[in-house]
Amino acid sequence: MNDVPGLPARRAALRMCDAVLRRGETLDGAAVAALRQVRDDADRALARAIASETFRWLVDLDALIDSTTRQRLPDDAKPRAVLRLMLAQWLRLETPPHAVIATGLPLLSGGPRRLAHGVFSALVKRKVSLPDAPTLPPAVAARWGERAGSIAAALAEPPPLDMALRDPGETDRWTGELSGTSLLAGHVRLPRGTPVENLPGYGDGAWWVQDLAANLPARLLGKGKGRRVLDLCAAPGGKTLQLAAAGWQVTALDISAARLERLRENLVRTRLQAELVEADALQWQPGEQYDAVLLDAPCTATGTCRRHPEVLRRIGPRQISEMAELQARLLERARGWVRAGGQLVYAVCSLEPEEGEELIARTGLVCGPIAADLLPAGIDPSPQGWLRTDPGMLAHQGGLDGFFIASLPIT
């Protein structure tokens, strides 16, 4: 059966989706096991694309399936899972229906195969289409309220590729050499799908991949001028690289040895320096206080839903509450590691108020001002002083991830 061309990629995509829905894994985590037997790079990329587009449009794919069956298929029924993949390929990846059928039906057997064939063929005959924007799961739309519509519209396509420059003074040069656009000094944006390793400047370490929103927290600390900063939960290290390039003496702490190794490799490539510490921030104690601390805290990561659409299915009230409690503990420790007169920057790539605005209100900390010239045009701090971005912002320029960022002076 694996002799069918393209079947291993579809089988891997099915396993990835199953791991997310049944075990709550991320697509990146699920891909490790699911792609183990897929050797061809093109097939590996295809499997990830199928799974990603399936989750991006899951509500709408299910609606199409339900419009064709006499009796609603259970959510965890394998024919539904396979039909989701088949429809995602046809409607989003523009795979011809005959190729979808040839690589999709072998994932099933017996009656389920006949059922899937009948449903898919009926939808093809009806020439169905997807809406302009993905429909959010009802619980997610309710959480996000008035923001839901613009965020959903921004999820229709995967995001572009953003790079942070080692030297912001060379923005014009690299924007030209890379044939990109720039929304901020030190930032260059390219179309998605660009092969990074082949681009000018990669081998010289002139830039690294980092979403525009993720590029903002470190900017709030300004030039280091040799001062000491602690980057908590630092890996994979984009903010560490920013701080080192801005002249800070950086201590980068993370609990993951593997992620710190990636940071170490990027430090070598970019010719930047930082002290790396593998430790649990809830247990570790520094020998002295720092001039500044940047806490990019572990979070639900709902702000990354453009590139990780499965997060809309993985995260609910329980996970949000658990993360908010962890963030509160980390924030309490981090504030004690900043010397009087120093600065604590708190950030999360979450769209949930419990992990952002509400958490800061609970701490009693007061937000300091965020200068407008540190931010892209069209992005402004709130009247309360903190910054909130979401994927619906700057949509005509390619958008950005959802982040909550607060600059907290320590007295």
pLDDT tens digits for range 246-300: 999 999 999 999 999 999 999 999 999 999 999 999 999 999 999 999 999 999 9
Backbone angles phi, psi at 249, to 5 degrees: -85, 110
Q: Which domains does the chain have, with CATH numbers?
A: 7-126 (1.10.940.10), 216-409 (3.40.50.150)
Please confirm, yes or no, whether 349 is among the known catalytic residues.
yes
- Predicted confidence at residue 235, as pLDDT, reads 87
pTM over 0.75: yes
- Predicted confidence at residue 367, as pLDDT, reads 96
Of 17, 299, 349, 367, which one is the catalytic site residue? 349
- Predicted confidence at residue 5, as pLDDT, reads 86
Query: From the centroid of its chain, how far is CA 121?
Result: 35
- Predicted confidence at residue 4, as pLDDT, reads 83
Q: What is the mean pLDDT of each run of 10 residues along the chain (411 residues)?
A: 82 97 95 94 96 98 97 96 98 98 96 96 98 97 96 95 97 97 97 90 96 97 97 94 98 96 96 97 96 98 97 96 98 97 98 97 93 94 95 95 97 91
Q: Which amino acid is at 400?
A: L
Start-to-end CA distance of the chain, whole Å, equals: 67
- Predicted confidence at residue 2, as pLDDT, reads 56
Dig out the tokens for 240 from the structure.
């560490």
Give the CA distances from residue 387 to residues 37, 134, 217, 234, 382, in Å, rounded to whole numbers and listed in that order. Answer: 44, 26, 10, 20, 6
- Walk across the sheet containing 207-209 and list its strands: 187-190, 161-165, 207-209
